[in-house]
Amino acid sequence: MSVFKSIPEFTTKSLDPIPCKFCKSKAIYSPKDYMESFGIKVFFCFHCQVEYCYYYNNYFTDITSDVASICLYTNINNKTYRWAIFDNSCRLFLMKDASINDQELILHFDHSCPTITPSNINEKIRTYLLLL
Ligand SMILES: [Zn+2]
């Protein structure tokens, strides 16, 4: 996906890959400058188009429970959407360019987030877009 192919520092591999929670592939360390500046380490599973963000300090102590966010990406009608899952909330964004610096918040759930996976994300987001 263009979101990650456009990141020039993508080839840096100074951290081991982590297991993807949706498939048997590994999520590869894919640092982004602006996230690194906040101490956030980004991993990306190319098979699922899923991004995992960990706070640096927590990454080395307990990677399984300290994920800061999980973001699923998908393309619908030539637009890229980002479904971001946090501790107790989730957000749907429309990406305006290849970074997350310019994105539009479309929908948010502050409790009871729907279960969205790489296999149902297209169907679910198409439904939400119809309801908006
Ligand atoms: Zn995966």
pLDDT 10s digits, 75-125: 999 999 999 998 889 999 999 876 666 889 999 999 888 999 999 999 999
First-to-last C-alpha distance (Å) of the chain: 26
d(CA 56, CA 90): 22
Distance 110 CA to ligand 1 centre (A): 25
Distance 17 CA to ligand 1 centre (A): 11
Distance 47 CA to ligand 1 centre (A): 5
- pTM above threshold 0.85: no
- Length in residues, the chain: 132
Q: CB 8: neighbour CB atoms within 10 A?
A: 8
Enumerate residues 6+ apart whose C-beta is below 8 A from 115. none
Domains contained in the chain, number: 1
Amino acid at the residue 114: P
Instruction: Provide the domain limits for residue 10.
Output: 2-131
Distance 118 CA to ligand 1 centre (A): 8
